């Protein structure tokens, strides 16, 4: 147990280290690189540099200029001339993605930077709230609120942006005075919704990890792995109790009812997931209802709570709700795609986590529509690795991944439309926050996990993947399960006998 805690603390310390992107990428790729380099050496450099940057930065939007470095080098790698323009195009655009008619953004707005200062205040309050009389309980409850592990705080960001989008202004400091910029009663109450939502969300993660017997969360060891199931459950309960105390302090029965409903939905959704019949497991409607309960309800009801605390009309409150609902659905749909296409390090949890637990999500549901025989495979049970491999092969032949992304894009578009339908307001802060909320819809559906260089050995005419992060993907057919439209392979005919086939995989 102590060893696990030391490992986790080491991981936290490592995540605190920030290295400038230019200092990591360009020296690796440009220094001491001969004009005509060995292909394997070049690709090893590219891949190693990219993966180190992903560990440091997490999102490939921050690595866009990497395509400029790849383009000339890729021509030295195994006859890549036919591929490298595709690499640059895919990389700079986030890979082939479905398009949707979202609102036009007048200027680029970083949603997280816009509320960064306020998020720091919320984060500090959260850490203060989880102090308990019993040190072990306090340590457990604080586990995912530690600096460096807390992530981007997606839900609080949405809520704080919604508060300003509904014309709840952040007060300006008094001239010449030192005041708390966010100390006004209304804004503090709005921040409380963000804090409540995050505590409920983290509590649900702690409970889910126990139910799923998970061993990682947000890229580090899960609490149940480090401290055991009992402490993990109690820590989740403790966070819920603190959320209830904060909720009660708002003295708004309608908001209390909304948040209580969201908590009930979390339990209902988890129960639906655990106790599905064969028919329900194959139902897209059932899946979407469960997804709303488990993911979208908390976001949508929190957004609606913001509107109610602001004194907005029922119509505006419903628009806030619709934004949160559709953003949450889009988020989870893409999350379900990434469960098939991601890696443990990029997801913060094990890849293929859902299918390994027998959970059927949108990509497989769409694949079943194209290949009804897949239903028989699923009904036989996904606890059998052979059935999992077979299901992945069917997924690879289908348009399941693409159709799921398209459905996510549809919900993202509906979320954007809700923001566009809010009453007009000329205030610059309001307009900027609304643009940021729309920008979030773009970021949600364009979430990717970067690029891997996949080397494939040609043995007896069978293309067999080696050095692959996922041992269960043992053929190009299974690799294509990621998304066949995003996978390309080139061969050097002079190297066919035991030679290399190079595949470039985007997800």
Mean pLDDT value of segment 158-185? 67
- Asked if pLDDT for residue 147 goes beyond 80, the answer is no
Q: Provide the domain limits for residue 465.
A: 2-95+450-506
User: Does 454 lie in the same domain as 441?
Assistant: no
Mean pLDDT of 283-306: 97
Residue 159 Cα to chain centre, angstroms? 17
Q: Is the pLDDT of residue 334 over 70?
A: yes
Q: Share the mean pLDDT of the chain.
A: 71
Per the domain annotation, does 151 fall within a domain? yes
DSSP, collapsed to helix, strand or coil, labels residue 401 as helix
DSSP sequence for 460-489: TTEEEEES-S-TT--SHHHHTTTTGGGEEE
Looking at the structure, do residues 357 and 419 belong to the same domain, yes or no?
A: yes
Residue 105 is assigned to a structural domain of this protein: no
- Identify the band that residue 464 occupies on the pLDDT scale cut at 50, 70 and 90: very low
- pLDDT, position 194: 96
Tokens, residue 452? 């891997």
Tell me whether residue 101 is in a domain.
no
Q: How large a percentage of the chain has pLDDT more than 70?
A: 60
Residues 337 and 404 in one domain: yes
What pLDDT, on a 0 to 100 scale, did the predictor assign at position 150? 58
Cα separation of 418 and 316, whole Å? 9
Same domain for 73 and 201? Answer: no
For the cut 60, the answer to whether the pLDDT of residue 496 exceeds it is no
Q: What are phi and psi of 496, to 5 degrees?
A: -65, -35
In-domain check, residue 234? yes
The H or E element containing residue 456 is strand 451-459
**pLDDT greater than 70 at residue 73:** no
Domain end marker among 445, 467, 495: 445
pLDDT of residue 200: 96
How much is the pLDDT for 242?
Answer: 94
Average pLDDT over residues 341-348: 53
Q: What is the three-class DSSP state of 85?
A: helix
Compute φ and ψ for 98, nearest 5 degrees.
Answer: -65, 145
- 99 or 362: whose pLDDT is higher? 362
Q: How high is the pLDDT of residue 207?
A: 92
- 266 shares its domain with 319: yes
Span 461-481, average pLDDT: 35
Tell me: pLDDT of 303 over 80: yes
Q: Are residues 238 and 176 in the same domain?
A: yes
Instruction: Give the three-class secondary structure for 220.
Output: strand
Least confident among 4-18, 77-91, 466-480: 77-91
Q: Are 261 and 325 in contact (CB under 8 A)?
A: no
Q: For position 198, which CATH number holds?
A: 1.10.600.10
Query: Is residue 298 located within the same domain as residue 392?
Result: yes
Q: Specify the pLDDT at position 132.
A: 78
- Examine the domain organization and report whether 16 and 37 are in the same domain: yes
Cα separation, 309 vs 304, whole angstroms: 9
- Within a domain: 362: yes
Lookup: tokens for 124: 């500090």
pLDDT at 358 over 50: yes
Q: What is the mean pLDDT of residues 449-472?
A: 33
Choice among 8-12, 109-113, 322-326, 451-455 with the minimum mean pLDDT = 451-455
H/E element holding 396? helix 385-397
In angstroms, the Cα distances linking 498 to 34, 37, 115, 462, 470 are: 26, 21, 54, 10, 22
Secondary structure class of 136 (helix, strand, coil):
helix
Q: For 427-451, give the DSSP string.
A: -HHHHHHHHHHHHHHHHHHT----E
Residue 84 sits in the same domain as residue 170: no
Residue 109 has pLDDT above 60, yes or no: yes
Same domain, 371 and 501: no
Q: pLDDT tens-digit profile of 361-417?
A: 999 999 999 999 999 998 888 878 888 889 999 999 999 999 999 999 999 999 999
Residues in the chain: 507
Average pLDDT over residues 328-333: 97
Given 445, 478, 493, which residue is the final one in a domain? 445
Residue 104 domain-assigned (yes or no):
no
Beta carbons within 10 angstroms of residue 373's beta carbon: 9
Q: Decide if 415 is inside a domain.
A: yes
Mark whether 440 and 454 lie in a shared domain: no
Selected residue with higher pLDDT from 477 and 411: 411
**In the predicted model, is pLDDT for residue 113 greater than 70?**
yes
Mean of pLDDT values over 444-461 = 46
> What would the pLDDT profile of 10-62 be if each residue is shown by its tens digit?
444 544 443 333 344 334 444 443 444 444 444 444 445 444 443 333 333 33
* Of 73-87, 109-123, 255-269, the least confident: 73-87
- How many domains in the chain? 2
Question: Nearest-CA neighbor of 126 among 149, 112, 146?
Answer: 146
Together in a domain, 137 and 267 = yes
Q: What is the mean pLDDT of residues 131-145?
A: 80
At residue 137, does pLDDT exceed 60? yes
Q: Is residue 103 part of a domain?
A: no
């Amino acid at each position: 147990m102590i060893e696990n805690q030391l490992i986790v603390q080491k991981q936290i310390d490592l995540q605190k280290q920030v290295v400038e992107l230019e200092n990591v990428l360009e020296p690796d790729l440009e220094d001491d690189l001969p004009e005509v380099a060995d292909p394997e050496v070049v690709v090893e450099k590219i891949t190693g540099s990219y993966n180190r940057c992903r560990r440091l930065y997490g999102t490939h939007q921050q690595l866009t200029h990497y395509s400029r470095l790849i383009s000339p080098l890729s021509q030295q790698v195994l006859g890549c001339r036919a591929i490298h323009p595709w690499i640059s195009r895919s990389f700079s655009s986030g890979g082939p993605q479905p398009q949707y008619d979202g609102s036009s953004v007048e200027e680029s707005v970083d949603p997280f930077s816009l509320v960064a200062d306020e998020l720091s205040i919320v984060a500090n309050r959260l850490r203060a709230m989880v102090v308990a009389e019993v040190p072990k309980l306090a340590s457990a409850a604080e586990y995912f609120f530690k600096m460096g592990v807390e992530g981007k705080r997606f839900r609080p960001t949405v809520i704080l942006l919604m508060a300003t989008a509904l014309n709840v202004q952040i007060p300006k400091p008094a001239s010449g005075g030192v005041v708390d910029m966010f100390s006004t009663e209304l804004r503090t109450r709005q921040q409380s919704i963000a804090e409540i939502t995050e505590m409920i969300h983290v509590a649900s993660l702690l409970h889910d990890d126990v139910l799923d017997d998970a061993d990682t969360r947000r890229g580090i060891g899960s609490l149940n792995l480090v401290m055991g199931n009992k402490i993990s459950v109690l820590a989740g309960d403790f966070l819920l109790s603190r959320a209830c105390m904060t909720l009660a302090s708002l003295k708004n029965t309608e908001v209390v009812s909304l948040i209580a409903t969201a908590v009930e939905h979390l339990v209902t959704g988890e129960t639906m997931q655990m106790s599905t019949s064969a028919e329900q497991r194959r139902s897209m409607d059932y899946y979407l209802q469960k997804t709303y309960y488990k993911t979208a309800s908390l976001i949508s009801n929190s957004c609606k709570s913001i509107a109610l605390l602001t004194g907005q009309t029922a119509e505006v409150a419903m628009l806030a709700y619709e934004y949160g609902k559709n953003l949450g659905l889009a988020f989870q749909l893409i999350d379900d795609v990434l469960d098939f296409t991601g890696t443990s390090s990029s997801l913060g949890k094990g890849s293929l986590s859902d299918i390994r637990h027998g959970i059927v999500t949108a990509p497989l549901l769409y694949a079943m529509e194209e290949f009804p025989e897949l239903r028989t495979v699923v009904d036989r049970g996904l606890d059998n690795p052979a059935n999992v491999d077979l299901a992945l092969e069917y997924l690879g032949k289908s348009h399941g991944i693409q159709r799921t992304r398209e459905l996510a894009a549809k919900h993202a578009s509906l979320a954007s439309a809700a923001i566009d339908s809010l009453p007009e307001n000329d205030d610059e802060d309001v307009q900027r926050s609304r643009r940021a909320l729309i920008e979030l819809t773009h970021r949600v559906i364009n979430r990717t996990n970067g690029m891997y260089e996949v080397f494939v050995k040609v043995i007896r005419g069978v293309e067999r993947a080696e050095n692959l992060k996922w041992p269960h993907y043992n053929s190009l057919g299974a690799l294509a399960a990621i998304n066949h439209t995003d996978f390309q392979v080139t061969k050097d005919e002079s190297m066919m006998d035991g030679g290399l086939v190079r595949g470039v995989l985007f997800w």
